[in-house]
Amino acid sequence: MTSIAACVAGLLPASRQIRRRGSLQTTSCLADNRRLEMKNVQGIRKSLKDFFDESKDFIKSDGGPPRWFSPLECGSRSYGSPLLLFLPGIDGVGLGLIQHHHMLGKIFDMWCLHIPVKDRTSFTGLVKLVEETVRSESHLSPGRPIYLVGESLGACIALAVASRSPSADLVLILANPATSFGRSQLQALLPFSEVISDLLHLSLLYILSSMKGDLLGMVTASMVKGIPLQQIVAELSQDVVAIPFYLSVLADILPQETLIWKLQMLKTASAYVNSCLHAIEAQTLILSSGRDQLLPSQEEGERLCHAIQKCETRHFSNNGHFLFLEDGPDLVSIIKGAHFYRSGKYLDYVSDYVPLTLSEFNKLYAYHRLLGNISSPVLLSTSEDGKIVKGLGGIPSEGPVLFVGYHMLLGLEVIPMICQLFIERKISLRGVGHPILFTKLRENSFHYTPPFDAIAMTGVVPLSAKNLYKLLSSKSHVLLYPGGIREALHRKGEEYKLFWPKQQEFIRMAAQFRAKIIPFGVVGEDDISELLFDYDDQIKIPCMRSHIEELTNAIEKFRTAADGEVVNQYLHFPICLPKFPGRFYYYFGKPIDTEGRREELRDKEKSRELYLRVQAEVEKCLAFLKEKRENDPYRNLLNRLAYWVTHGLTSEVPTFEL
């Protein structure tokens, strides 16, 4: 077996020397780095053409055993970053994450495995190579996790390593694993291996067609993002023109003998891994494509999720086999949204949080833009002198700040509020959420929904005194709902009614860190929907009652020391009847300063007085909004549409007089 030291040497020509553990770079390498930085500053994400351009450079200097390299654009990682090992698919080049290098490099120490074209290391040999690397790096840095990111064949290598390394702290991120090879169309190519030369061109073209995924889906997604149709057509035309070049490079990456070898290896890998799935204990995330023309990946993702102990799946219905080379998915966002990023042995929701990038925020905003357009939120805040102002100018810029308010039906107010605070004040609001957002439930009891990942990316943390302490100590802007899910899943006739516990722990904690408390109210749920089928209705139906009990019992219990209705937080999903849309109204009351009151608020009675004051302020905010909205001439959607027609779609619609 080739040593680790030998595996990292001699891969590329001098102009593209690898960056390895702080080693010196050549002048050409530094120039490349500056060009890469300029591309990234300009927001240019590498493309499929970049993959083939750089793959051509890699295979020019081919030869020798498999080895690790670290991309130049991954040199900006933060201190203590976890290690990410990328394991390539059938191509073996190691550039499968080229579109994600820059962002991954900010939060990971990233190594990629390159398998030379003429290399004939067996599947078990590759597994031993990766296993040796995992063992060596675990010994050098015992406190940091190791991420194995693999696609197709690389996913099989990752699963095999995990089954052989139960004591290693591994996290697996696997795209379209080849464990389904026996049920794939690739299996049909094996009997023709003797006459593969006649089928080689067709095979390469077939593989290439999968690299672009669903073209119609890509066009639709691009148009939704607001990209002009002319630009979309131009980009697709460039891809069509470049196909001969792609075919030429692909033929060099997968010549006849190599393609036959890789197909045989896929068969071996699939059989090997399927025999040891029961031994895999690593945290695993399966990414499966709905339009994979090479493997039945969507069905395989579901199968693996049930076969592996700690496994979750994410589906990409409009993507093809080469998921990481397509334009839509963003691997860093996927990892963050699934709460899979951690720098230590255990996930710390506060310290392991990676703030939203501008691109991620734009996607989050676009995802919820329809609700924002329909509800056309009115935002009011209160300055320190008590004056009510339009907008969020009364919100303190410096933390710690604790927002305490009313939770609307289904929490519809949360994302618009987070977005507006970020847009208007550049404030990242960290929510304290119910355990359902963090509990990994099996598919037969609960179906994953994309909004949960979107909420996770905003930095929400599980409700606990420890997490609230950490957020306030880090001077964050924190969102807290004392009424919790009891308010968010309230029943008929309970609109704008508070369900707060008797305990007032957050008051003393806010005082400990001299935090400002901002009471707020939100109204408008009754303007967009009518509660049709609530908990009281559902509990009367036996099958729904058993589902509610199963779901409630599966969630970790909290507030065990509390009393009142907030303890009985039965998990159900109310059925609502949409109404002709009205409008959302937010009112943030005057900040309550706790500075200098730490000792005073240690007294239980004083603390309770302030708690009741905050509760009363929230109720006043709700009452103020319910009264004032009656005088809003643009509360009705038709009136707002008429205003936009005459003033432009980007115009801010007026509201009632203050």
Which pLDDT tens digit goes with each residue over 627-655?
999 999 999 999 999 999 999 988 899 99
pLDDT band at 456 (very low <50, low <70, confident <90, very high): confident
Spatial CA neighbour of 164 closest among 39, 327, 277, 301: 277
**What distance in Å separates the CA atoms of residue 443 and residue 299, rounded to the nearest whole number?**
13
pLDDT reading at 8 higher than 70: no
State the pLDDT at residue 40.
43
Which tokens hold the place of 250?
A: 């692909």
Mean pLDDT within 376-402: 94
For the chain, give every residue range classified as CATH 3.40.50.1820. 4-337
How confident is residue 63, by pLDDT bands cut at 50, 70 and 90? Answer: confident
pLDDT band at 150 (very low <50, low <70, confident <90, very high): very high
Q: Which pLDDT score, from 0 to 100, does residue 208 have?
A: 58
Q: What is the pLDDT of residue 644?
A: 93
The CB-side HSE value for 300 (13 A sphere, CA atoms) comes to 29
| pLDDT over 70 (residue 86) | yes
Q: What per-residue confidence (pLDDT) applies to 108?
A: 95
* Two structure tokens written together for 381: 């805040």
- Residue 20 or residue 264, greater confidence: 264
At residue 284 the predicted structure's pLDDT band, cuts being 50, 70 and 90, is: very high
Q: Which part of the chain is CATH 3.40.1130?
A: 358-525+581-647
Q: How would residue 442 be classed by pLDDT, with cut points 50, 70 and 90?
A: very low
Decide which of 647 and 363 is more confident: 647
Using alpha carbons, select from 324, 293, 319 the residue that is nearest to residue 88: 324
- Which pLDDT belongs to residue 238? 55
Lowest mean pLDDT among 3-17, 521-535, 580-594: 3-17
CATH number of the domain at 4-337, out of 3.40.50.1820, 3.20.20.70, 3.40.50.300, 3.40.250.10?
3.40.50.1820
pLDDT confidence of residue 198: 55
Q: Is the pLDDT of residue 492 over 60?
A: yes
> Is it the case that residue 10 has pLDDT exceeding 80?
no
Distance (Å, rounded) from C-alpha 651 to C-alpha 287?
Answer: 41
The pLDDT of residue 637 is 93
Residue 296's contacts (CB-CB under 8 Å, 6 or more residues apart) are 180, 183, 184
Q: What is the pLDDT of residue 120?
A: 94
pLDDT-above-90 percentage for the chain: 56
> What is the mean predicted confidence (pLDDT) over 373-391?
92
Would you state the pLDDT for residue 553?
Answer: 80
* CA 464 to each of CA 460, 469, 609, 615: distance values in angstroms, whole numbers, following the listed order: 12, 9, 23, 20
Condensed to tens digits (0 to 9), the pLDDT of residues 167-181 reads 999 999 999 999 999
For range 210-230, the mean pLDDT: 50
- Is 440 a residue whose pLDDT tops 80? no
Tokens coding 44: 């240019």
Residue 288, beta-bridge partner list: 315
What pLDDT does 454 receive?
A: 82
Q: 78 or 114: which carries more pLDDT confidence?
A: 114
pLDDT of 38 strictly over 80: no
399 or 125: which leads in pLDDT: 125
pLDDT at 206: 62
Between 560 and 534, the higher pLDDT residue: 534
The per-residue pLDDT for 75 is 73
At residue 11, the pLDDT reads 39
Pairing, β 429-433 against β 477-480? parallel
Is pLDDT above 60 for 239? no
Amino acid at 201: H
Compare 571 and 202 and report the one with higher pLDDT. Answer: 571
Percentage, residues of the chain above pLDDT 70: 81
pLDDT at 236: 47
Q: List the one residue out of 405, 397, 377, 410 whose CA is nearest residue 477.
A: 397
In the predicted model, is pLDDT for residue 152 greater than 60?
yes
Q: What is the CATH number of domain 358-525+581-647?
A: 3.40.1130
User: Per mean pLDDT, which range of 260-264, 506-510, 561-565 is the poorest?
Assistant: 561-565
Three-state secondary structure call for residue 579: coil
Across 573-589, average pLDDT:
93
